[in-house]
Amino acid sequence: MNAPVPPSQFQRRPLSVRMATPRGFCAGVDRAIQIVERAIEKYGAPVYVRHEIVHNRHVVDRLKGLGAVFVKELDECPDDRPVVFSAHGVPKSVPATARSREMLFLDATCPLVSEVHVEAERNFAAGRHVILIGHAGHPEVVGTMGQLPAGAISLVETVEDAEGFQRPGDQPLAYATQTTLSVDDTAEILAALKRRFPELPDPHKEDICYATTNRQEAVKRLGEGCGLVLVVGSKNSSNSARLVDVALKAGAGDARLVDDAGDLDWSWFEGVETVGLTAGASAPEPLVQGVIEALRTRFDVTVTEDDGARETVTFKLPRVLTA
């Protein structure tokens, strides 16, 4: 009679894991996190940060452990401690208030978001009304709208909004976009606007950033052949949420947003032979590796890296932190 096989020797079901390239941190996120870390090194704790520096719970918790204090508004900060503005950008009124209080402030706004701000100001100075394609309430949208006087910029979130938008008088128009939108959804909104306003000029440079575009293209490739796509990222991360949408549109059987391995639900894997794995631009790579380790406890995992764009972009830190 055969002896029972110990549980540890049960054969695990094979599972193929395809890793998206690129994934995870982009240059703007990396720069913003370094600004907080360097500020704590240089000035000591506490260093205040207005809003989450990037939209990732694990990053925020780690920085809290180093001495960062996250606040919603400047009135929660003392005058005599440094304050960092988040990567998403801030309305003009925020640095103006900091200057009036003679605060030491460090601007961690992503340089690509700052380019959108400059473009919006340029169009306003030229007498154009600016249409901003983005999500209401997102810090980046609040920051961009706050570059111009009230009424100078209109927010459009959907194709329906684009169809219903009313030009203020006979004012010429321009548009800008949030940097973390779905490339395809934005194209649909823009097509609706251009049908109505054929003269609408394109920005000098594409507003949706290289990292958003590259990560969405990588996920499209995953979606074509995966029964399940896992996106590592926090629920308030716009670019991470868009990756889930893109995967489903590309043909993935299912797609899920997980903060870390603790969010995995093993029922998602029933009947799945190939899993795609990626991470939003604000999610650290150790969280991705943690998901793989969790999968190895249940499956005989084979990991392959997809081909994709290799990113070499870096952004300089503020001079005050490098001197």
233 and 287 assigned to the same domain: yes
Mean pLDDT of 286-292: 98
**How far is residue 51's CA from residue 63's CA, in Å, rounded to a whole number?**
13
- Residues 77 and 121 grouped into a single domain: no
- What is the average pLDDT across 44-53? 97
In a domain, 310, yes or no: no
Average pLDDT, the chain: 95
174, 131 Cβ separation under 8 angstroms = yes
pLDDT value at position 10?
56
Rounded to an integer, what distance in angstroms lies between the CA atom of residue 40 and that of residue 68? 7
Residue 265 and residue 187 share a domain = no
Q: Is residue 83 part of a domain?
A: yes
Q: pLDDT at position 43, please?
A: 98
Task: Give tens-digit pLDDT for 94-114.
Answer: 999 999 999 999 999 999 999
Residue 203 pLDDT: 85
What pLDDT score does 206 carry? 84
Looking at 94, 110, 126, the residue that finishes a domain is 110
Give the model's confidence band at 7: pLDDT under 50 very low, under 70 low, under 90 confident, else very high.
very low
Among 31, 58, 12, 29, smallest CA distance to 212 is for: 29
- Span 73-78, mean pLDDT? 97
Question: For residue 4, is it within any domain?
Answer: no
Judged against a pLDDT cut of 70, whether residue 119 lies above it is answered with yes
Q: Is residue 322 part of a domain?
A: no
Residues 47 and 129 in one domain: no
The vertex-316 CA angle with 240 and 319, nearest 5°, equals 130
Please identify, among 110, 134, 157, the residue that sits at the C-terminal boundary of a domain: 110
Provide the β-strand partners of residue 35.
none
pLDDT at 205: 82
Task: Give residue 323's pLDDT.
Answer: 80
The band of 5, judged by pLDDT with boundaries at 50, 70 and 90, is very low
User: Domain check: are 64 and 120 in the same one?
Assistant: no
> What is the count of structural domains for the chain?
3
Distance separating alpha carbons of residues 22 and 24, to the nearest angstrom: 7
Domain presence at residue 154: yes
Q: How far apart are CA 181 and CA 133, in angstroms?
A: 9
CATH code, domain with 65: 3.40.50.11270
Q: What is the mean pLDDT of residues 45-54?
A: 97
Mean pLDDT of 148-156: 97
Q: What is the pTM of this model?
A: 0.93
216 and 245, same domain (yes or no): yes
* Residue 270 bears catalytic tag: no
Domain hosting 236: range is 11-25+210-305
Task: Answer whether residue 33 is part of any domain.
Answer: yes
Question: Looking at the domain assignment, is residue 41 inside a domain?
Answer: yes
Tell whether 79 is covered by a domain.
yes
pLDDT above 70 covers a percentage of the chain that reads: 97
CA–CA dist 87, 145 (Å, integer): 16
pLDDT digits (tens, 9 = 90+) for 213-253: 999 999 999 998 899 999 999 999 999 999 999 999 999 99
- Domain termination site, one of 162, 196, 230: 196
The active-site residue out of 41, 140, 224, 305 is 140
Across the range 46-75, mean pLDDT stands at: 97
pLDDT score of 315 more than 50? yes
Residue 72 has pLDDT above 90, yes or no: yes
Q: Residue 214 is part of a domain; what is its CATH number?
A: 3.40.1010.20
Q: What is the mean pLDDT of residues 128-151?
A: 97
What mean pLDDT do residues 313-317 have?
96
